[in-house]
């Protein structure tokens, strides 16, 4: 959630952020009203509680008929105190709900929706297949020729948007994971294998609980959720903890399976493995101070770019518009790789600065000279396997259907070229 002091002291800033996101500012007015109601309820309860204590002293000193009269008044006052306490609890709940309905302040993100991003840079040049004299094959055909991707059996076993990675496809996944983890280790990240199932508190703390209907799988009987990214378990990793500021930044590179319903993507990317229900990912997650979070955000982006450079891909970096941000993010940078057969750039990585939004919900603080303060959290994709495979296969394909292996992956794959399988 946002810092409530900002809401109280500078509500116009919050309204401006909502406008940048293309969202209603009504949430601001509701939260301010809920805060006013909460403060009044607290004052009423405290006043009645103080009156009850004073009445108790009078009863102790009274005698006879006066005492009986006071006891009757005490009974009525006790009922009023109980009602005031219940009203305070209800007002507190409404205040928390209203505050949580406000997304992070998108002060620096471009205004607008999905198409209003700002291009930061383009890296590399897309291959000119026409100049090379052949029509590029898409990753589905290449995957079939290489014996790497089996969509038919994936659908037979699990349904649409599922797949098998077989042979060099499976090897390519492990190679990408190893390359990502190797880079993360060299950069000082602690490697983590994260759980793919989390409690509701973790989902709510990261701001993903509102997406359950559209994007998140829930295990009803166990009240657990399948994560769409290891950002969720890693954000909750230090929940309800006070961190030593000397240990910041804490950088983690977490591997996990990820699950997404893709309910809002009907008709989009139904072919192939660009948009699927299950995939593996290595996610960078950082805890640091708010002051340092902006520089750390740039570092996450540079680590993502370094990984894409190792895959020898052409890509662009965009500053995502406020209306396309999730509720937790203050700002987000995406790296989009060129996909030859689609003739456009597609998202491969994202890096978000969530400042204290998640930490306030999850109660993660750092000890300072003046007490404790919420930390900042950041996340960044190092590699999302299926999309990385798509980009590598299509970018580095050759006329005969073989695929040149980027030099950085050759160590893990043990070969320079992936050859079509003999039928």
Whether 186 has a binding-site annotation, put simply, is no
Whether 407 has a binding-site annotation, put simply, is no
- The 10 Å Cβ neighbour count of residue 365 is 19
Q: 296, 350, 352, 394: which is the annotated catalytic residue?
A: 350
Whether 347 has a binding-site annotation, put simply, is yes
Whether 99 has a binding-site annotation, put simply, is no
347 catalytic? Reply is yes
Whether 348 has a binding-site annotation, put simply, is yes
Whether 276 has a binding-site annotation, put simply, is yes
Whether 378 has a binding-site annotation, put simply, is no
Q: 275, 292, 312, 419: which is the annotated catalytic residue?
A: 275
Contacts of 286 (CB under 8 A, 6+ apart): 249, 250, 251, 252, 296, 300, 377, 378, 379
Q: 260, 299, 360, 365: which is the annotated catalytic residue?
A: 260
387 catalytic? Reply is yes
Whether 270 has a binding-site annotation, put simply, is no
Q: Which long-range CB contacts under 8 A does 206-213 form with residues at least 24 apart?
A: 206/231, 206/232, 206/235, 206/236, 206/328, 206/358, 206/361, 206/362, 207/103, 207/326, 207/327, 207/328, 207/357, 207/358, 207/361, 208/232, 208/326, 210/327, 213/263
Whether 381 has a binding-site annotation, put simply, is yes
Whether 392 has a binding-site annotation, put simply, is no
Whether 360 has a binding-site annotation, put simply, is no
Q: 51, 347, 402, 419: which is the annotated catalytic residue?
A: 347
Whether 247 has a binding-site annotation, put simply, is no
Q: 21, 30, 251, 387: which is the annotated catalytic residue?
A: 387
Whether 260 has a binding-site annotation, put simply, is yes
Which residue, 404, 344, 317, 348, is CA-closest to 132? 404
Task: List the binding residues for ATP.
Answer: 260-262, 276, 347-350
Annotated binding site for L-serine: 229-231, 283, 381
Binding residues: 229-231, 260-262, 276, 283, 347-350, 381
Active-site residues, by number, are 260, 275, 347, 350, 387
């Amino acid at each position: 959630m946002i810092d409530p002091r900002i809401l109280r002291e500078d509500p116009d800033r919050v309204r401006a952020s909502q406008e940048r996101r293309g969202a209603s500012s009504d949430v601001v007015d509701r939260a301010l009203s809920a805060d006013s109601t909460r403060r009044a309820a607290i004052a009423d309860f405290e006043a009645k509680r103080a009156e009850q204590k004073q009445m108790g002293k009078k009863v102790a000193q009274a005698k006879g008929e006066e005492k009986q009269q006071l006891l009757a008044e005490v009974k009525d006052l006790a009922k009023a105190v109980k009602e005031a306490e219940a009203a305070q609890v209800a007002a507190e709940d409404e205040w928390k709900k209203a505050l949580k309905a406000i997304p992070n302040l998108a002060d620096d993100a471009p205004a607008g929706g999905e198409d209003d991003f700002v291009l930061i840079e383009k890296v590399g040049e897309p291959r000119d297949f026409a100049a090379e004299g052949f029509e590029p094959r898409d990753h589905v055909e290449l995957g079939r020729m290489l014996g790497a991707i089996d969509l038919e059996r994936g659908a037979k076993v699990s349904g649409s948007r599922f797949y098998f990675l077989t042979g060099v496809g499976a090897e390519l996944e492990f190679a990408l994971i190893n390359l990502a983890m190797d880079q993360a280790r060299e950069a000082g990240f602690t490697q983590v294998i994260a759980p793919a199932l989390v409690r509701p508190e973790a989902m709510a703390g990261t701001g993903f609980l509102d997406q359950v209907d559209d994007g998140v799988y829930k295990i009803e009987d166990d009240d657990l959720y399948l994560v769409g990214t290891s950002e969720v378990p890693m954000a909750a990793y230090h929940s309800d903890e006070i961190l030593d500021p000397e240990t910041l930044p804490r950088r983690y590179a977490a591997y996990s399976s990820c699950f997404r319903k893709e309910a809002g993507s009907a008709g989009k990317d139904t072919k192939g493995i660009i948009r699927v229900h299950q995939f593996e990912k290595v996610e960078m997650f950082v805890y640091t101070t708010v002051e340092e979070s902006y520089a750390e955000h740039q570092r996450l982006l540079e680590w993502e770019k370094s990984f894409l450079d190792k895959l020898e891909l052409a890509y662009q970096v965009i500053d995502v518009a406020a209306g396309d941000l999730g509720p937790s993010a203050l700002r987000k940078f995406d790296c989009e790789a060129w996909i030859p057969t689609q003739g456009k750039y597609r998202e491969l990585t994202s890096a978000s600065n969530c400042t204290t939004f998640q930490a306030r919900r999850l109660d993660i603080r750092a000890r300072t000279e003046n007490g404790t303060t919420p930390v900042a959290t950041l996340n960044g994709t190092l590699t999302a396997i299926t999309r990385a495979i798509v980009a590598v296969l299509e970018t580095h394909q050759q006329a005969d259907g073989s695929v040149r292996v980027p030099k950085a992956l050759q160590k893990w794959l043990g070969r320079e070229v992936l050859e079509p399988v003999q039928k």
